[in-house]
Amino acid sequence: MNLNPKNQITTGKAFEYAILIEFKEKLERKTRVNVIKNNSLEIAKECFKVFDSQEQGQYLLSASFAVNFLIDIEPRLSNGIDKHDTLELKILSDKHGKAGDVRDILTIRKAQEWEIGVSAKNNHDAAKHSRLSDRLDFGDKWLGIACSKEYFSSINPIFLSLRKLRKDSNKTQKWNSLPNKETHVYKPLLLAFKKELLRIYDENPKEITKQLIQYLIGRQDFYKVIKRKNHVQIKAYNLYGTLNLPFQETKPKFQTPKLNFPTEISEIYFKKDKNLIEKLNTLIFEFDKGWKISFRIHNASSRIEPSLKFDIQLVSAPKTLFTNKLSIKHGE
């Protein structure tokens, strides 16, 4: 693994470790805590150790603000039913994300049959980074319905040409040397993607819409904690009603409403810039109930390869999405 401190994966995992440490230090004063030792914990710890003491302090400070707030709105973090009711803290491996579980850190009480998860982000709010290629069936992976032969027939020539460019240059040719990649690669791929997704959607619109949101946003409820330079933001994705539960007579200090799934795709179109010119690398999906998601396609590597990547962002969500911003002044 690349432990470059400027690498997004490194910074994200360092923040995961900081959150886990803050959970442990704050909650072991109130309840019995057990940190699950696994490979994911060791990787996150190594990423955290890449940074100097000052930077580690900034990670821990941001995590401390977030954890204090989560303790206020999740009473079960602090309260066990008896001395044997242990709170387990666990960092999940990346393979869970590929299966639709976007949570990075779990807090678990087996005695209460309860758990909540946290998705930790450092300076970004991406939902997914899914790949697109002629050898990946996004329909089957995302929605459980295989893509058609027509879809693969339409995208195969594009990826074959990329594969040939890669081979002929001995894997050295870069994307920035490719003229008109937006019109010759990005746009036709996104149009094929749009057409195929709408074909799948037409089979069972309401169910497909829900499954798409589950894949993109998460198949479990979770809190997204986003570390910024001078603040930390917390969003409660309470789609299934498992967040913000009381513990006996102890109620949360704030309420996080349940979110409603959309039931239909209203429109899919290319994003436009401030001059109303279409951005040929980004599709916007508009749903009912206030959901809007962007799909920006890009090359994951500087060198040409027969695979592209989506940067999937939640543009807007229902007004009931609980969001809280905690300002942080470093150095005080």
**0.85 surpassed by pTM:** yes
For the chain, what percent of residues have pLDDT higher than 90? 80
pLDDT tens for each residue of 305-331: 999 999 999 999 999 999 999 998 755
The two beta strands, 231-237 and 265-272, are unpaired
Question: According to the model, what pLDDT value does residue 122 have?
Answer: 86
Question: According to the model, what pLDDT value does residue 1 have?
Answer: 57
- Residue 57: partners with Cβ closer than 8 Å, 6 or more residues away: none
Question: According to the model, what pLDDT value does residue 281 have?
Answer: 94
Question: According to the model, what pLDDT value does residue 108 have?
Answer: 97
Beta bridge partners of 325: 233
The answer to whether residue 97 scores a pLDDT higher than 60 is no
| Type of residue at 29 | R
| Type of residue at 267 | E
Question: According to the model, what pLDDT value does residue 93 have?
Answer: 87
The answer to whether residue 301 scores a pLDDT higher than 60 is yes
Please report how many Cα atoms fall inside a 13 Å half-sphere around the Cα of residue 113, on the Cβ side: 0
